[in-house]
Amino acid sequence: MSVETIPVSESTTQPEPVSEPTPVKSQPLRELLPTGPLLVLVAVAGAALVVASFGRFGLSGKGLLGAVFCPTLVLLAAIDAKHKLLPNAIVLPATLVVGVIVAASMPGDFLWHLAAGAALGGFFFVFGTIFAGSLGMGDAKLGFMLGLALGVQTFEAALIACAGLLVAALYVLATRGVSARKDAIPFGPFLALGGILAFLLG
């Protein structure tokens, strides 16, 4: 005796594909560069620092170093203040140029400058690793560039930068209350200030 089979319709519902997380793309450099009045301010400040560097150290290797180093710091400070980012596209080439100028103009001191850069950059890297969210890799790379350019004046620059950051943090707490204690304050502008003052006044 044959048994009739009842056809069972297969479910047409297909499992929804798992959506892959969209990778975060870094912003193009052209979108990070200052525009409008800020661009004018950065350009004027950079030009003034070029003149100040050559005026302070003459047509020398150190004068050329300041003409590259100081305007770059101004540009990075403006970008970090607005975007909380220190782009590799500026930091890395600038570090290379700074290293070449130091090696060519101060060959006897190059290893000291290199050690100072490694010390400050390494300290920022370790600090940022231990205290997550405090300092980023951009700050560590900028710290390396500062040490490479400044040599024995690196500690002075770091001290000025940390003091400036502390004053800014206290001001934010005083004006906005404890609710602002977790707000991130970009460190780049303070590193730039410390680097410029240490270079020109050292």
List, for residues 2-58, the tens digit of each pLDDT value.
445 545 444 445 555 444 444 434 678 888 999 899 999 999 999 999 999 999 999
The proportion of the chain whose per-residue pLDDT surpasses 70, expressed as a percent, equals 84
User: Which alpha helices (DSSP H) does the chain contain, by range?
Assistant: 29-32, 36-57, 61-83, 88-105, 110-130, 137-150, 154-176, 188-201
For the record, the structure tokens of 170 come out as: 């206290």
pTM, rounded to two decimals:
0.83
Per-residue pLDDT band for 182 (boundaries 50, 70, 90) equals low
Residue-level pLDDT at 3: 47
CA 85, distance to chain mean position in Å, is 6
Distance CA 29, CA 161 (A): 25
Q: Which carries the bigger pLDDT value, residue 81 or residue 16?
A: 81
Amino acid at 186: P
Distance CA 15, CA 151 (A): 61
Cβ-contact 164, 138 below 8 angstroms: no
Residue-level pLDDT at 115: 97
Q: Which carries the bigger pLDDT value, residue 25 or residue 99?
A: 99
Most confident of 20-24, 80-84, 182-186: 80-84
